[in-house]
Amino acid sequence: MKRDDIRNVAIIAHVDHGKTTLVDAMLRQSNIFRSNEQVAERVMDSNDLERERGITILSKNTAVMHNGKKINIVDTPGHADFGGEVERVLNMVDGVLLLVDAFEGPMPQTKYVLRKALAQNLQPIVVINKIDRPDQRVDDVLDEVLELFMELEANDQQLDFPVIYATARDGIAKLSMDDESDNLEPLFNMLVETIPAPDGSLDGPLQIMVTTLDYDDYVGRIAIGRIVRGRVQSGQNVVIANGDSMNKAKISRLYTYEGLKRTEVKEAMMGDIVAITGLSDANIGDTVADPDQPEALPTIKIDEPTLSMIFSVNNSPFAGKEGQFVTSRHLRDRLFREVETNVSLRVAEAGGPDAYEVCGRGELHLAILIETMRREGFEFQVGKPKVIFKHINGKLCEPMEFLTIDVPQEFMGPVMEGLGARRAELVNMTELAGYLRMEFIIPARGLIGFRSELLTSTKGNGIMNHVFHGHAPYKGDIPGRTRGALVAFEAGETTAYGINSVQDRGVMFISPGQAVYEGMIIGENARESDMDINPCKKKHVTNMRSSNTEEAVRLTTPRIHSLEQALEYINDDEQVEVTPKSIRLRKTILDRHARGRDRKNSQAN
């Protein structure tokens, strides 16, 4: 039977096309907040990192009421690196709102998330957002969306998608560009009419698919999912089914969503999205089932990771000075705890008790994990990101990315030159209001370090987006960093005099008064080879005065690396030391004599 009093919908789109802003407007117009309540922008982005970066990292659940019908809404991330979040939450819904920017049109991530939605036979509604942009090109964008649906082989029902024109920031939606509207009523009505009501058995044996895990210090693990069949009650005995294994459990508390809050309920039924406590053994993809008739649902398939990185215990001379959690046990427990909720992540021990191989969907995916851990008080070090190769039909294959770059036309030459060396293949080029949009297929390893190069070569005007394209035979060598490192050869505190004496060797990464240790990278050499220098040198005091004694030392501004820039910058023999207070670059082998012997041995081999 159908439950006509409820609708389950996910909002999917490319990054920065307005998903979270639209959810904000829907919440406001559903009277979720008090009239005098102060509400932050992008209220669904509750994580500090989400607010700072202006992106959604974790999918979120909320619910609004409209004319007596409950609409469960799932806000999803737009970055390809968090595609695992999108894949699993699509199991909770019957339809999707596909948001597309009225100027940018369909972007790589639009294609990625739409392919996932169509594969699950979900009903789409296309929302063309930001129609108030002066450079909007609504008609062209609508044609591009239709072409995308056809390219992805949508069925006839999916191709006959309804369209809403919106300005999410102002809370306005309309059925055509000529309509007058000052609210989202047309969108709410369209959603209720178009998205199918949940369909299933209310009285059959219980089945709940666990799609998300949360954690609370008071109640422990919280399993979130949709009731596919039957009813569930607080205090009920259930089994957690995963393949052939069955674990008994008892539901402690049962919650549904109202606005931004979880509301405790005694009973929920087929079609509801619920949060459950008491299921300490539940994992993503498990089925919460009736103990008398336990039937497992098909597990959730998640795309494989494409990038790996070695996380290890910090062994620099500054180890333990800035972090709260510094031991191998702390690092191991934290990484394996992350795997429980971060479905796209893989963790394995890497050749020793103090090192772990962490595999993820991209640089941003792993950088967010590193940044989260350092804010929690962890101190550790990470190696250079490396792509994960596969052998397919006896051939060595590597992950490829579909890359889209928007640049002003005058920067086309430097961008093409930079990507040519990285084995990129141009597949399409279009002109958009003074900008060129270039589309490439490029090895994933060719993108490591490219973002900063793009910003430099386009004077900050280049915009890049990429999404996993598939595997292809190995494309050959890609040149790495062309400059060597300036490495401190003794420990101490840097001085203005010391830095001034070596700054003509290249670009410095440090300032006076900074503590350094032997083997720490303090700058970039102007030449290809590494150079050992001493930035802690002090001026000798003599009785002699020279003509330039009183001249002030003039130092160039140091280059400060963000976490992502540091990860992109390092070579295979280097690491990034991460602490709650600092991000330092260092050589893996700190002693310069041992480093020299290692270099000679590797050249001999």
- Cite the annotated binding site by residue number: 16-21, 129-132
DSSP character at residue 79: S
CA-to-CA dists, residue 56 to 12, 19, 90, angstroms: 11, 9, 16
Would strands 355-360 and 123-129 be described as parallel, antiparallel, or unpaired?
unpaired
CA-CA distance, 321 to 345, in Å (whole number)?
A: 29
Q: Are 386 and 444 in contact (CB under 8 A)?
A: no
Whether the CB-CB separation of 288 and 279 falls below 8 Å is answered with yes
Task: Please provide the DSSP assignment of 359-401 as one string.
Answer: EESSHHHHHHHHHHHHHTTB-EEE---EE--EEETTEEEEEEE
Residues 13, 596: Cα–Cα separation, whole Å: 51
**Euclidean distance between CA atoms 399 and 217, whole angstroms:** 39
CB 23 within 8 Å of CB 62:
yes
Q: Which positions make up the binding site for GTP?
A: 16-21, 129-132
Q: CA–CA separation, 368 vs 382, rounded Å?
A: 13
- From CA 103, how far away is CA 136, in angstroms rounded? 5
Cα 428 to Cα 108: distance, rounded to the nearest angstrom: 13
Residue type, 323: G
SS3 per-residue string spanning 139-169: HHHHHHHHHHHHHCCCCHHHHCCCEEEEEHH
